[in-house]
Structure 1
Amino acid sequence: MRRKSALIGASAAMMLVLAACGGGAEETPETGNTGAAGGETGGAGVEDTSLTIYTARDTNITDFVIAEFEAAYPEFEGNVEVLNMGAQEVLERVRAESANPQADVWWGGTQQGLATGAEEDLLAAWEPEFAADMDEAYKDSEGRWFGEILLPEVIMYNDAALSEDEAPQDWDDLLDPKWEGEIIIRDVAASGTMRSIYSAMIQQQSPDGSDPEPGYEWLRQLDANTGEYAANPADLYLKLSREQGTVSAWNLQDILIQSETQNMPFGYVMPESGAPVLVDGLGVVNGGNTEAAELFVEFLYEDDLRAQLAEDFFQIPAVEIESEPEWLANLDLNPMDVDWDVIGEHETEWIDYWNANIKGQN
């Protein structure tokens, strides 16, 4: 539900930077050379200070975090290369480069995508300090990937065109013929968010995954109401803000970022039957610059940085933080009962079937 007045946004300095940057990006205030973790860290003693990161994170989150990392470890300044792409694209690229790894960190991916990468020996096993207190459900048992944030998937709508009460209140409401042509969906195959939402809808119809047909029928009806498939998140935001459609399905964090820091006309509804809650995480690429990668991952989990990412970028951390921002403390989260193991086993075949036999055909 929309809580614009109660949400804690970024600081005034952050907003000045945002205004200067434009382009739908979220920037946060400059923090000097102390780093988000407080005080000058420095002195990493890493031999190779080059670092390549493949990430599904928004560019302004990555810009902010990399700036903080380089402030904490000046020896990395100018040596961190970040490639932003869809979560599924990260998996496919790391897989394609496995014989000659080009990335050091895989940052941003669903637990089912990261689990696939771990099974294919694409991720290195290790024991970071922060993992000791992490919920077992949020990490790989062999230390190959770790949850960073929790992403509730909700119903998104243009709040300049619809009131909260007028927007769909639950997933099945999206199938109502009154929404024909009003729904815009981020192209599913390349998006970890959309793959997870669609897979969760199938798994709700078939708990053990043995009979996806009822779920496919649900997706056929959704496809019939879908006016457009947006090529990427920026395209989705643009089309929805221009009222080329008024309704979508997307993750809560990005909706809040676009609404609260970019003044986009977006609201959300927490679905009555529950929101699939993804564990979105990261891992160290097997065969990359392991020492630098591990240093970066450890930095990501420092409490002050996690608290700032929660405050300014609306992240729900997968680890406990000392102080929660008001929006998070007041979040009325309604998790859907989802079996992510079943989804991990069947997601590829389900999405491939949707892509070949349902998308745009209804």
Structure 2
Amino acid sequence: MKKKLTKWTSLTLIAAMALGLSACGGGDTKPAAEGGSGADAGGSKKLVIYTARDKNVVDEILPRFKEKNPGIEVEVMTMGAQQVLERIRGEKTNPQADFWWGGTQSSFITGAEEGLLETYKPTFAANVAAENKDAQDRWYGEMLLPEVIMYNSQALKKEDAPKDWDELLDPKYKDKLLIRGVLASGTMRTIYSSMIYRQDPADPQKGYDWLKKLDANTKEYTQDPTNLYLKLARQEGTLSLWNLQDILIQKEMKKQPFDYIYPASGAPILVDAVGIVKGAKNMENAKKFYEFLFDKDELKKKSESLFQIPTRTDINKDEFPAWLKGLDTKPLQLDWKVLASKEKEWMQYWDENIKGKNKK
């Protein structure tokens, strides 16, 4: 996927420099907080973010952060969730990013175990449930993200769409499925790994057999989400598997003919997380962004306009928007540590032995 780099410049910083504040020692000279590298103790004005967030999310949230932090110059690189992990892993000896914004808990568990994430206990730590954060404060879940069945509402009536995972294997849906390229996508890797787990985590062959039948009904694996949306809107396929937030963004904000079915047996509910990159060069600014993302007012705004389900437990449920109050979030029972440890093995097998090999 083509990498997109967005650079947010700051007139305030220029003005501050013109006034000679830095020459007068007005920069931030506080030492880094416990657990930090201290790389930006001299008052860095930069923040580099790697994100798997939808562009609509980035475009709405960053201007509000800039408004509250006008002296910080932010660079954002957007890519698939798995690609973020691989890039941070490749840069471990010389980190280029400061903040990892968005990815599955499986990816963050892996990143934490590989020493890619900084320990940082944020001010809101006590208000995030234990299952939605790392016990050593290396990552925190920003939101909950159900993975559901997506369909084109112009081409398929709701009553004719599959109501649960196993219905996707029905031969009547042959060549109706469009699937976002799996290996680069944290969402798709989680959905596919969950399908293996729900069959029998001790015997992945049962899950592989299930995915073979799904592959038989899949018309195409698209390069990225943009191509998925385009082809689904054109009715080149009528069904997909995707995350609830992005479906609602496309439906409500982009007016795409998309809708969703929440699977009857339950959905994999991702803890979509964030964390500071180990050895970040702009540590203090990364912490500011961390705290900003979890600000209660900010979370309410994101829930209203970006369809996010916040993980903070101290938000009054009465303040949630109508779409969230009426949502049934029945989870598919999964052991996320098992998924984190097996995902790479399972997805490699799928890619080498199942993908595109089951057409008749």
Indicate the TM-score class for this superposition, using the shorter chain for normalisation: 0.7 to 0.9
Deviations 1:170-227 (Å, cap 9, x if unpaired)?
A: 1011101111101000110000000000001100111xx3210000000000000000
Alignment partner of 1:258 out of 243, 250, 253: 250
Partner of 2:190: 196
Of residues 298, 315, 318, the one that matches 1:305 is: 298
Provide the rounded CA distance (Å) in 1 between the counterparts of 2:167 and 2:56: 33
2:319 maps to 1:317: no
Q: Does 1:54 align with 2:30?
A: no
Q: Deviations over 1:282-322 (max 9, x none)?
A: 10001112111111101110011100000000000111323
What is the correspondence of 1:1-362 to structure 2 with a 5 Å cutoff?
45=28, 47-76=43-72, 79-206=73-200, 209-288=201-280, 289-320=282-313, 321-322=315-316, 323-362=319-358
1:330 deviates by 1.2
Structure with larger Rg = 2
Partner of 2:34 in structure 1? none
What amino acid sits opposite 2:66 in the alignment? Answer: E
Residues 112 and 344, structure 1, Cα contact 8 Å, conserved in 2: yes
Partner Cα separation in structure 2 for residue 80 and residue 318 of structure 1? 25
**Distance change (3 Å), C-alpha of 1:134 and 1:44:** farther
**Contact kept? 1:44, 1:73, Cα under 8 Å:** no
Point out the more displaced range, 45-54 or 345-354. 45-54
Q: Structure 1 regions of 5+ residues with no counterpart?
A: 1-32, 34-42
Partner Cα distance (1:160, 1:63) in 2: 28
The amino acid of 2:299's aligned partner reads R
What is the percent sequence identity of the aligned residues?
Answer: 53
Return the letter of the residue paired with 2:337: D
Counterpart-to-counterpart distance in 1, 2:115 and 2:122: 19
Q: What is the rounded CA distance, in whole Å, between the counterparts of 1:152 and 1:141 in structure 2?
A: 23
Judging changes above 3 Å, is the alpha-carbon distance between structure 1 residues 82 and 44 closer, same or farther for their aligned structure 2 residues? farther
Deviation by residue 1:257-289 (Cα, 9 ceiling, x = unmatched): 100111100011111111110101010001112
The TM-score, its normalising length taken from structure 1, stands at 0.86
Runs of 4+ off more than 6 Å:
none
Q: Is the 8 A contact 1:140 1:146 kept in 2?
A: yes
1:79-137 C-alpha deviation (Å, 9 max, x unpaired)? 10000100000000000000100000000010010010001110000111011221000
1:44 to partner: Cα distance:
9.7
**How much is the aligned-residue C-alpha RMSD, in angstroms?**
1.4
Aligned length: 317
Q: Which runs of 5+ in 2 are unaligned?
A: 1-11, 13-25, 29-40
Corresponding residue SS for 2:288: helix
Distance 1:48-1:337 versus aligned 2 partners, 3 A rule: same
Code of the residue aligned with 1:312 in structure 2: it is: S
